[in-house]
Amino acid sequence: MSSSWKDVLEVAVAIELECAALYEVFAKRFSSRRELVYFWMNYAEAERYHAASIRIHQSALAGMPEIGEQRFDVEEGEARKFLADVKAAREGCDRDGVTITEALRLARWVEESSAELHGRIQFFKVFPDFGDMLQKMAEEDRAHRDMLESAQKRWGSATA
């Protein structure tokens, strides 16, 4: 299935905002621990920043002539499935609660999956300048994943 770049960007923004919402659930869940609230709210803010960055590029590209359907290494359906999975995880954690260990595990999955998707979208095939931003976002996601590994060592055995 081919997707327009506009469709792919809309899903990318939705993913970033859903990830931010998941991290806000974690901050709420661990509200009695200020350092954990701060930690999760920083992650949420980073995801909102990613969404804003994509929106800025959308605005810049909006005036460009339509280039038709494109084939990307990540299909819109695959990205929408990841979005649905993150949303389901957020709703489950909000409804049922989550331990610190579970939150860190989920966040590592989110960051790893997001980095992988950003790396495979390859907008640089159509818009070379845009590819740089997605590459930086993928690098940030991998750095976030690595920080989560350190957090796991620090807080993995703690309780809320």
Write out pLDDT tens, residues 61-91. Answer: 776 666 555 555 666 678 889 999 999 999 9
70 bridge partner residues: 3
Residue with tokens 């390859």: 122
- 24 contacts 40 by C-beta, under 8 angstroms: yes
pLDDT (tens digit per residue) in 114-149:
888 777 766 656 666 666 777 777 788 778 878 887
Q: How far, in Å, CA of 8 to CA of 134, rounded? A: 12
* 8 Å CB contact between 130 and 57: yes
pTM: 0.82
In CATH terms, 5-155 corresponds, of 1.20.1260, 1.10.20, 1.10.3470, 2.40.50, to 1.20.1260
pLDDT digits (tens, 9 = 90+) for 30-69: 999 999 999 999 999 999 998 998 888 778 777 666 655 5
Q: Is 3:79 a contact under the CB 8 Å cutoff?
A: no
User: Average per-residue pLDDT in the chain?
Assistant: 82
**Is residue 96 over pLDDT 80?**
yes
